[in-house]
């Protein structure tokens, strides 16, 4: 499974999902369970309206490529990039993603896996 950070307002259950980065960069930024906190803390500090889309890459029907982050992560982490619209069937769960006292961490609902 891979994860995509978005807002409650941007995600509409049952509809194909496209992020603005699909137009500007040609792909949707995603993360895995071990790296989702990196872009969350770097790009979304202080946001309280976020959710994580849990996506099954086998169901997206478009290329998913593991590549360096954009911008590159200082520790050299690679991230999954989805090169197309995410169909509703590929989103297997939506998780609230509030920041904790020290920033974002993987939600407990995903840590149990």
Domain of residue 94 covers 2-102
Tell me whether residue 89 is in a domain.
Answer: yes
Quote the number of domains for the chain: 1
Q: What percent of the chain has pLDDT above 70?
A: 98
Strand segments (E) across the chain:
2-7, 28-29, 50-55, 64-68, 78-82, 91-96
Q: Which residue in this structure is represented by tokens 């086998």?
A: 58
Instruction: Give the CATH number of the domain where residue 55 resides.
Output: 3.20.170.20
- For residue 2, report the phi and psi dihedrals to the nearest 5 degrees: -125, 165
Percent of the chain residues past pLDDT 90, beyond the cut: 58
Secondary structure of residue 86 in the 3-state scheme: strand
Residue 110: inside a domain? no
Spatial separation of the C-alpha atoms in residues 12 and 105, rounded to whole Å: 24
Query: Is 56 inside a domain boundary?
Result: yes
- CB of 2 within 8 A of CB of 27? no
**In a domain? residue 109:** no
pLDDT band at 108 (very low <50, low <70, confident <90, very high): confident
Point out which residues pair with 68 in neighbouring strands. Answer: 78
pLDDT in tens, 8-36: 999 998 999 999 999 999 999 999 999 99
DSSP class of 49: S
Question: Is residue 112 in some structural domain?
Answer: no
pLDDT tens profile 40-85 = 898 898 889 999 999 999 999 999 999 988 777 778 889 999 999 9
pTM for the structure as a whole: 0.91
**Domain for residue 108, yes or no?**
no
């Amino acid at each position: 499974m891979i994860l995509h950070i978005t807002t409650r307002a941007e995600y509409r259950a049952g509809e194909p999902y496209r992020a603005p980065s699909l137009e500007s960069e040609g792909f949707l930024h995603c993360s895995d369970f071990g790296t989702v906190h990196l872009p969350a803390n770097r790009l979304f500090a202080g946001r309280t309206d976020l959710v994580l889309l849990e996506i099954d890459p086998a169901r997206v029907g478009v290329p998913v490529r593991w590549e360096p982050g954009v911008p590159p992560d200082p520790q050299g982490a690679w991230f999954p990039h989805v090169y197309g619209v995410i169909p509703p069937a590929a989103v297997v769960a939506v998780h609230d993603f509030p920041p904790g006292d020290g920033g974002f961490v993987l939600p407990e609902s995903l840590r149990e896996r």
